[in-house]
Each structure stands twice: as structure tokens, then as C-alpha cells.
Chain A
């Protein structure tokens, strides 16, 4: 991975019941996919607070992938509907903020679709690699002697390179 090509960092939020299980299946089936994805397991895609996405982007992710059950298959009945509404609105907001569409993606992946996990991840890594690193405008900090605790705990954390 040190041949000079850009290695994007992708944070994936997968629902426990479908997409995470599908990722497991991909592993069990020995399907290989790009190693740029860090998977965070959520109980439901409806648990995905849009704040998770912006926190990930601010902390160094170049893209965010969200995976949930197909509509109608939600273990909690309506969680993925909520995810879709939040995602739709968030995408429009991120577009206004100059963040490319390909960087934040929602996919419905059922527990049996290990091959879709492989395909979606490979596709997304290739797309984000083409876009290059996400360079958000730095948040300014006051300079001076007095240090006041940052209001957000993630201000100083960064994600390790892949």
C-alpha cells in the first residue's frame, strides 16, 4: 500500500442485522475487498445520527458508507426509513458545504449479500480515491497563552493512516 497511490479512509456504519452480517459473510466466504474501510457496527441504520457522519469527516475520514437492511426488512420495522430521510437531507446539506456526493453513500445490503459488500466497498474506495483526500477548511483556534478546553472532544483526535 505504499506505492504512492492515495489510500482513502472510509468509515462504514453497518447495521447489526443485515449489512454487518453480510460483511461477516463476505469474510467467511473469503471474498477480498479494499482494506480502506473501518466498520462500525450499529444496531440499526436508524441509529445513525447525522452527527456521526460529520464527526467522521472532521476526524479524517475521506468518505462515509452507511449500510442497512432493505426497506421493509428492518429488524425494528422503520429504522432504515428514518435513516433514508436523514441521509437524503444530510446529502443535500453536505452538497451545499462542497462535499462531493460520492463521499457519503447509503446502501441497502441484506445479510445474504456478501458479494454486494465487496462490490460496494471496492466501488466506493475507487471513487473516493479518484476524488482525492477530503480537505475540510481547518477550524481556527485562538493562539495565546490561555488554553481553554475545546468544546468538542474530537477536536484533537485524528485517524491513523491506513
Chain B
């Protein structure tokens, strides 16, 4: 599964579809600008000159790989399990040395590693607590490559929507005002509590939610909620073969979702519907462009790579693939595309047309509020 063909087709297909030239993985120079590869000809350790240095010095030992989760739901771990039989290929090719969700390694095991000993660490989830920050910094030191895995690590994700509220607002909702909460003593989580058996501690909750590269430098990004299997295998293949694009790259096609949407041919030349509708209000035609049917589909501004999985389920794209290159602010970008698709021309008809977009920040920044230029609600 980690063959050349996987890597070759990984970025290739999209580039051909929209006719734009993009950097295909297979076309990259062998001397990657990673600072991690030996200059060609060095083989006193018996290594091929093109063997990626971050995979370790001993060819016989497999490269060490770690997975970690910060503020996330566990769906990204599920995505790795979704590799199904292919996961056997991963296990055969690498040594998994840290994966709290699935394997019994502890933080001490990571601390005992030499700096850079882990070839690559996939970190999913946003960062909101002191523990997540410590772990992110620890893994950054121990791993040669850090890959932000999934929407939360890439752009903040669903947990990032908490940036619409203050820390106090979040705590008040959870501990006081929620309908199902009974807390007459006004208890709040404490970072330390002296129990008779000794002091017990909890991590501290930060003021805001951050995406991974707002706390540590990140080498690569794998977008998606969760990242599609195709992108994960493509990324693993590229890493193992040392055919990675320049650092900072997003390991997904550089085209909008509409380009790979099975309904793209039904998208009319000019979109002009009178009002937005929500998925529960209509039975969407399973063949027609969802945006043309008035559903708020973010396909025009979202990065492809998922094979339009939601659209195939007759649900509109909510933007987990994140922004395309050149986009400065995903939400404002998506908002622009959505608003221009309406037909309304005056205040009254615009109000009617937008009535079913009651929460623009939640709709357009669903996965990307911490990555937006606004970052968090003002005054937080």
C-alpha cells in the first residue's frame, strides 16, 4: 500500500482535473529542503544516500512513529483504524512507540527518548490545557517531523469554536447554567487539591483554544475531520519514501472540493436561489448541486481530498478540509461565496434569504476559528 503509485497519485489526480500545474510529490528533488538528509554519496553507515535521515540511522530498525491527541473527539484515532487491512502495512513498515488511545505507552516513555528519536509524530486535536501544551512541546522535541493531523490540529476544529466565548463563559456554561447541571456549591475545577491521600492535580484551562502551530512549529498538515484514509496513506507513503513536499505543506490536493464533486456538472452557471435552507427542511435531490438547492455547501472554498464524502451522503460540505492556498481567512472567504450565490437584492429580501443562516460564525468558522484572522471573540 505504501507503493510509489500511492504517492504518485496522491497529489496528481486533482492537478490534472483542473488543469493547473502543481508540485507533484514524485517531481520533487531528492535532496529535500528538510535539513534532514545526508548529502548524496554518504554511505559509511550502509545507508542509501536517498534514505531519509529522519527515519533513523539503522536501516534494520523501523522508523519510530507516535500518535497523540490533544483537544479532540477520538475521530482521528478512528481514522487510523479506518486504514483497515492497510494498517498491517503501516505496522510492518514502522514501529509505533506512542499512542495513548490504543497502546500502553506512557509520557515517561516519551521523556526517556532522545531528542528527535521519533521519526514522525501525528498530533491531532486543538490545544487548550496546560497538559496539551506540555505534551505538544515534548513531542516536538522528540519527533523529527510533527504532522498536524485533522482539522483541530490544523485549524482549531470544533473545539476552537469555544473562542466565541470567554474562558469564564465556558466554565459557567459547564458548571452553572447548563440545563442539566446541578451545582449549588458553585464547584469549579481546581488545578490542585489536597486530598488526605496527597495532592491531586488537574491541568489548567487556557484562556483560548489554539491550533497546533500556534504553540509549536509544525512540519506538515493533514486536513479533514477526520483526515480521509486516502490522504493518510498518501502522507505515510510520502514520509516513508522521503518524497515529502517543502515543510509547511498541506498534504492534500490544492483544488476546491467542487472540482472533485460528483455533482459538479449540475452546478448552474449562475447560482441565484432566493433563500438558504437547512438540511432538515428539504429532501435534497441526490443528483443536483446542493448549493443550487439552497443548502449552505462550503465546497467552493474548501480544500478537496475527501472525495466529497458528505455530498455523497446528500449532506452539504461544512468545510473541514480547510482553506485553499491564497485564502487569508477561511470563514470570510466562504461567506463571500455563499452570500454571492443568493438572488436577493434589497435589505428585506436579503433578510429573508439569510434567515436560515442563524449562526454565521459557527457556519463559516466551524473548523477554523482559531485559524481565522479574528482568532477569538474580541475582549476574550
Contact = CB atoms under 8 A, between A and B. Distances in A.
B partners with A = yes
Interface of A: 49-51, 53-55, 57-58, 71, 78, 81-82, 84-86, 88-90, 92-94, 96-99, 134-142, 144, 146-149, 151-154
Interface of B: 140, 163-164, 208, 210, 213-218, 247-248, 327-329, 331-333, 335-336, 338-340, 342, 344-347, 350-351, 353-354, 357, 359-361, 364, 372-380
B326 to A, nearest CB: 10
A50 B335 contact: yes
Given A50-B339, A96-B360, A136-B378, 13 more contacts: A81-B345, A85-B344, A88-B354, A89-B338, A89-B339, A93-B332, A97-B378, A137-B378, A140-B210, A142-B213, A142-B215, A148-B213, A148-B217
Contact of B354 (A55, A89, A138, A147): A89
Contacts of B346: 71, 84
A17 to B, nearest CB: 18
Nearest to B140: A144
A145 to B, nearest CB: 9
A131 B335 CA distance: 26
A51 B213 contact: no
Contacts of A89: 335, 338-339, 354, 357, 360
A49 B336 contact: yes
A112 to B, nearest CB: 23
A54 B329 contact: yes
A55 B373 contact: yes
A10 B360 CA distance: 25
Given A89-B357, A139-B214, A144-B217, A152 B328 contact: yes
Contacts of A86: 335-336, 339-340
29 contacts: A49-B332, A50-B339, A51-B329, A55-B329, A82-B340, A86-B335, A86-B339, A88-B339, A88-B354, A89-B357, A92-B354, A96-B164, A96-B377, A97-B361, A97-B377, A98-B378, A98-B379, A137-B375, A137-B379, A138-B375, A139-B214, A140-B208, A140-B210, A140-B214, A141-B214, A147-B217, A149-B248, A152-B373, A153-B328
Nearest to B216: A142
A15 to B, nearest CB: 16
A120 to B, nearest CB: 18
Contact of B374 (A78, A136, A142): A136
A149 B373 CA distance: 16
Contact of B345 (A71, A94, A99): A71
